[in-house]
Structure 1
Amino acid sequence: MFFFRSIRFRLTLWYLVTLALILLLFSTFIYLTISKRLYAEVDRELLAIAEAVASPTLEPFRRSAPTVLDQILEDFIGPSVANKFVQIADASGKVFSSSTNLQNISLPLDKTSLIISGIGNSTYHTHSNSLRYPIRSITMPIMENGRMVQVVQVGMLLDYTSDILEKLLVIFAVSIPLALIMLWYAGWFLAGRALKPVELITTSARKISAENLGHRLEIINPSDEIGRLAKTFNITLDRLENAFNRTRQFSMDVSHELRTPLTILRGETEVGLRWGGDADELKKILRSNMEEINRMSDIIGDLLELSRAEEGKLVLDPVPVELHELLQDICTKAAPDAREKRIILDLPNAASLHVAGDPARLQQIFLNLIDNAIKYTPCDGKVSLAVDSEPGWAKVSVTDTGPGIPEADLPHIFEQFYRVDKARNRNDGGSGLGLSMVRAFSEAHGGRVEIFSLPGSGCTFTVFLPLSHH
């Protein structure tokens, strides 16, 4: 069953059917063309004989004995008269003279032919008889003073024409099946050659598994359809491998992020259960547990928000938002953390720019960036905010005087749970999802986020948001 459903079989079958139709049409065309030419040659010869018999010079001999007509035929067309017949009738259709070879057969003369002859026109007919081959005949009127006086009929046995056409049919009947058999094998071979790269792709694809996603298909000819298919498949494998790697890394990061608070919860709970203690000590343990529970809840909540944003299902409530005013509110919230490290939080006055956005999500974007900048800026440093615009876009930049980000880390800076300083632990704050949320929420607003950093010279995050026509 698979054999008949295979592409190779179907290609060969369609190839064979197409060629069979072409051969059939071509053979039919050849047969009809040759048949037409042979009949045209017969008709020309019949017309020449009829005109010779109907000529005025032979008028005295047309009522002669059949042998005389035979002699006339032989005189005009040579000795090959055995397959040619002459018959002469009067205006009423009554035959009064014929060649000797018409003794056992006759040339039919119907009323239609007589009527047509009566107006001076000739007609041709092909009719069967007691002989093996049909007879082709012409019926020609002999006119005197515009009136038909006699009718000449000349017939020819179609032995030569029929033999040629029969042989042609035999040739077609034998050669076409043989040609189709050879074409089947040729088509099968060519289809196999054409589909060989597909077999190689299938063999290579079977070797690919979740543990072997680095394997790629060999591209023999990148310019043909199979090569483009293999190239597209390799691109898909690259995306799949990246997705698998991100999923593995995500699972590891989530496990690591949740293991720490769970370990703390378990340890403190075990201490409380084992050693008891006074009420103040138990309250301290419960407060610590509550902090860890809140931390896990924040991580899970952030993950859900990121998931919705990446799937395009993040619910936004866009309203006109004035950016400078929004940043002032955020700076007010971030000021205590900045004062704790004696960091200058600078927000110069700027032109009023409005964007259509969800205030809560926009606040998360900029609060994450400012919080990140304060966190990585050393004491007595500076975090600068700037609001600017370019055609169609509002730009908000957050620049710090921290250590900067190494070039090798820049492509990964927006990945979930990615940390530039691997030595920093989770107790330093943050879930590792802040910058991922910045990018996701910016894109959800139709914007983007860019980063510029030189190691040792701080870094600048710039958020681009579409300007509102407010």
Structure 2
Amino acid sequence: MFSAIRRRLTRSSLRARLTFWYLLTLGATLTLFAGGLLLLRARSAFETLDADLQVRAHRLSADLRQDLFSLDVPGSLASDPLAITEPISVRTSAGVTIYRSPAFPELTWSGEGDAFAAARAQRGERTIQDRSGRSFRLTTLDIQRPGADRLILQVAVAESVVTTPLGELTLLLGITIAFVLTVAGWGSSYTVGRALAPVDSIVARVRDIQAHRLGDHLDVRADSQELDRLVATLNAMLDRIETSMSSARRFAADASHELQTPIAAIRGTLDMCLRDRSSAEDWRGTAVDLLDDLDRLSELVRDLRLIALAEAGHLLDEREPVPLAELVQDCCETAAVIADAQQIHVATAALEPLVVNGSSRHLRRVLINLLQNAIRYSSSGASVFVSVGQSDHMATLTVSDSGCGIDPADLPHIFEPFYRADPARARNTGGSGLGLAIADQIVRAHGGHIDVRSTPAHGSTFSVSLPLAGAMNGS
């Protein structure tokens, strides 16, 4: 039953669930209060009844002492020589009834046994039942007679004098609880509905927001701090979604533009070949040009796939210890081939023997991209310096150049895909605008970050911070 109620509540509205739990809590509280009140009232009523029985028994004992002493032989139940209206019974010490008033209950066999047990015990009060099933409260009093056996006086009173008012009180409390729960249910439902009304407005407003209008913020005014925070959080989420979608649209547009260039070159070359009857030697040169365009196209596709994997969190499937000093030496030797052609000197400064956990292939790509970027924007005769150091349990790899630098307005965007501070210059130098974006994604996948400091006309310094192998292992 409880599981069925739980399933129905799960499918119900928040308003219904809040109202249900409020009424359940209030009903349980009122029921416990009413039960405690009835328990205390019953206890007090029976204590008062027992005390009254004791008082009546002592009063009857004093008033009828002489008459009771004359009852040596059991009298006839048909006559009442004492003419007593009180429900009393007089027994001998042996438990033999010698007098019983007409008002005394006609007891069952078990009830008679209870009365006899009370007479033998000569103390306390107990409950007995008559033949009709009615309950009576019985008290016993010992009466001493000079020169004769003692007598036992028993006085009874119907428990209905207590149970009837208790029943009426129980009914009154039940009606009161039902009335309170009805009023509370209506009031709580109304209050919860008023409190959740802004939520309905928020839902309706969110449904009206279109994918191309994510900049339309929610302007719902709530009467509580919680809903105000909800609105603010939703607006912030819409801003992030809009930013992400704008980046995705810009990325798609830039990617299509970059892909269009080599494809157009390939198509133009093939069209020219079809129209021109060239020699085999000319066809060989054309094939070389086509292969160059295809290589550029393949590299661009690989870069796009790498960025997609990094953004999806699937770039690093396995990690291995990577000695940074060896990696720097190897990359500098590779970059020196390009740098020498432009009369640029690539040198290493301090190289601490630090080890990080990651992918040597991807970290090599980071360093090569940074070196190519430094060489690309350095003038002939300049120098590029690479160093490896340690700071705050992080390995720091630094690439510095003395080139043209980066304009401060471009610094926040240089790690965005396809962003070029100088598009014309970048195209002339063969850049696609993905090098720094790929480096940033790879470093982030390794748990690090890239910082850049640059002064126009004085050069730039890129600092890559990566967690040390010991720090990542928790040592």
User: TM-score scaled to structure 1, two decimals?
Assistant: 0.84
Alignment of 1:146-185 (within 5 A): 149-158=150-159, 160-185=161-186
Aligned to 1:296: 297
CA contact (8 A) 1:69 1:98 kept: no
Deviation at 1:185, TM superposition (A): 0.3
Q: How does 1:313-462 map to 2 (within 5 A)?
A: 313-315=315-317, 318-321=320-323, 323=325, 325-348=326-349, 350-356=350-356, 358-424=359-425, 426-462=427-463
For 1:152-201, what per-residue CA distance to the aligned partner results, in whole angstroms no more than 9, with x for missing partners?
12122455434422331332343222222111101101211232232232
CA gap 1:170/1:362 in 2 versus in 1, 3 angstroms = closer
Which residue, out of 16, 37, 42, partners 2:23? Answer: 16
1:215-249 C-alpha deviation (Å, 9 max, x unpaired): 33447569844444444433433332222122111
Contact kept, 8 Å, 1:91 with 1:151, in 2: the verdict is yes
Is 1:5 aligned to 2:12, yes or no? yes
Asked if 1 retains the 8 angstrom alpha-carbon contact of 2:201 and 2:220, the reply is: no
Q: Distance in 1 between matches of 2:240 and 2:254?
A: 20
The number of residues matched between the two structures is 451
C-alpha change, 1:317 and 1:20, in structure 2 (3 Å) is: closer
CA–CA separation in structure 2 for the residues paired with 1:264 and 1:207 = 45
Is residue 212 from structure 1 mapped to residue 194 from structure 2 by the alignment? no
Question: Which moved further from structure 2: 87-96 or 411-420?
Answer: 87-96
Q: Map 1:31-42; keep pairs closer than 5 Å.
A: 31-42=38-49
Coordinate RMSD, CA, aligned: 3.2
What's 1:307 paired with? Answer: 308
TM-score (norm 2): 0.83
Output one character per residue of 1:97-154: Cα deviation in whole Å (capped at 9) or x when no partner. 344545xx546662343244324323322435669x7543323344579x97322121
1:29-55 superposed Cα distances (whole Å, 9 cap, x missing partner): 222222222222111111112233345
CA separation of 1:351/1:254 partners in 2, compared to 1, >3 Å: closer, same or farther?
closer
SS at match of 1:402: coil
Deviates more, 1:360-369 or 1:286-295: 360-369
Q: Equivalent pairs: percent with the same residue?
A: 30
Write out per-residue CA displacement over residues 392-411 of structure 1, whole angstroms, 9 at most, x where no aligned residue: 33333222222222222222
Q: 2: distance between equivalents of 1:220 and 1:165?
A: 53
What does 1:191-340 correspond to in 2, within 5 Å? 191-218=192-219, 220=221, 224-310=225-311, 311-315=313-317, 318-321=320-323, 323=325, 325-340=326-341
Q: Which residue of 2 aligns with 1:43?
A: 50
In structure 2, relative to structure 1, the CA distance for the partners of 1:322 and 1:405 (3 Å cut) is closer
Query: Is the CA contact 2:145–2:151 (under 8 Å) kept in the aligned structure 1?
Result: no
Q: Distance in 2 between matches of 1:377 and 1:426?
A: 16
Q: Residue 13 and residue 290 in structure 1: after superposition, are their counterparts in 2 closer, same or farther (change >3 A)?
A: same
> 1:464 is matched with which residue?
465
Contact 1:404 1:456 in 2 (8 A): yes
* In structure 2, distance between residues paired with 1:19 and 1:329: 75
Report the AA paired with residue 5 of structure 1.
Answer: S
Give 1:435 shift: 0.8
What one-letter code is carried by the residue in structure 2 that aligns with 1:114?
A: F
**Matched AA of 1:458:** G
Q: In the superposition, relative to structure 1, how do residues 317 and 154 fare at CA in structure 2: closer, same or farther (>3 Å)?
A: closer
Tell me the secondary structure at the aligned position of residue 347 of structure 1.
strand
Distance in 2 between residues matched to 1:68 and 1:123, nearest whole Å: 24
Q: Secondary structure at the match of 1:423?
A: helix
Which secondary structure does the structure 1 equivalent of 2:370 belong to? helix
SS of the residue aligned with 1:462? strand
Counterpart-to-counterpart distance in 2, 1:393 and 1:4:
51
Unaligned runs of 5+ in 2: 1-7, 72-78, 471-475
Counterpart AA for 2:394:
W
Judge conservation of contact 2:324–2:388 (CA < 8 Å) in 1. no
One-letter amino acid of the structure 2 residue matched with residue 318 of structure 1: E
The whole-number CA distance in structure 2 between the counterparts of 1:380 and 1:171 is: 102
Could you list the per-position Cα deviations for residues 358-393 of structure 1 after superposition, in whole angstroms to 9, with x for gaps in the alignment? 443333222211111111123343323333333533
Query: AA paired with 1:184?
Result: G
Letter in 1 for 2:59: A
Offset of residue 316 of structure 1: 5.0
The gaps in structure 1 that reach 5 residues or longer are 71-81
For the 8 Å contact 2:198–2:222, the answer to whether it is kept is: no
State the AA in 2 paired with 1:252. A
Cα-to-partner distance string for 1:36-93 (whole Å, 9 max, x where unaligned) = 22222111111112233345981444546846453xxxxxxxxxxx6x4222122344
Q: Please tell me whether the aligned partners of residues 404 and 458 of structure 1 are also in contact (alpha carbons under 8 angstroms).
A: yes
More moved, 299-308 vs 156-165 = 156-165
CA distance in 2: counterparts of 1:51 and 1:235, whole angstroms: 85
Instruction: Tell me: CA distance 1:126–1:173, structure 2 relative to 1, closer, same or farther (3 Å).
Output: farther
